[in-house]
Amino acid sequence: MGSSLITLHGKDFQPYLSAAQLAEAVENLAARINADYAGRQPLFVVILTGGFMFASDLLKHITLTCEVVFIRVSSYEGTESSGMVQEVLGLREEVAGRDLILIEDIVDTGTTMHHLLPRLLAQNPASVEIATLFFKPASLRHELTLNYVAREIPNDFVVGYGLDYDGLGRNLPDVYVAV
């Protein structure tokens, strides 16, 4: 991992988690999902955009026969949650009776999931679980069951490995935290 600060839109970020640390956390999570869903054929629902890199690495370690689809909900502007979540776009697959595993980059306030889960549950899936790369327990404002968290982090703003700061930083293989 680079040991130096990076600057995005004039804001400084310092190294926080290396690609190797992320890989280990993601592999461990995939192993748990493989064990828990043995004999089932889950439908992974990747939440764009921030979840793309995590989803790619996680799914490479999933040994189950499974399907993968991509959806989009609203995202942040800047470093503060808008608290607003817009429409769910892109879920055309039949969800009824399926075991859904949502793949999300980060659960912060939980607002995104709080709005998304009822919409999915209304379509009568057999089950819904959330697999998130990061979880900030100190920020959570809604009741949520998170069974698959790759890593809990403090209430700081992070970028890299899919996560952006106003559009920048998604391509970084390591994760950085705002200084």
Binding flags for ligand 5GP, 88-117, as an x/- string (CB under 6 A): ----------------xxxxxxxxx-----
- CA-nearest of 75, 31, 38, 37 to 57 is 31
By the rule CB under 6 A, 76 interacts with ligand 5GP: yes
Annotated catalytic residue: which of 57, 99, 105, 108? 108
108 is catalytic: yes
By the rule CB under 6 A, 174 interacts with ligand 5GP: no
Could you tell me the smallest distance in angstroms from the CB atom of residue 138 to ligand 5GP?
12
CA distance 140 to 165: 20
**Within a 10 A sphere around the Cβ of 8, how many other Cβ atoms?**
18
- Give the binding range for ligand 5GP (CB under 6 A) out of 14-22, 25-33, 56-64, 163-171: 163-171
- Give the binding range for ligand 5GP (CB under 6 A) out of 28-36, 54-62, 92-100, 158-166: 158-166
> How many residues contact ligand 5GP, by CB under 6 A?
19
DSSP assignment of 100-111 equals EEEEEEEESSSH
Q: What are the beta bridge partners of residue 77? A: 80
By the rule CB under 6 A, 158 interacts with ligand 5GP: yes
Buried b (16+ CB within 10 A) or exposed e, 102-130: bbbbbbbebbbbbbbbeebeeeebeebbb
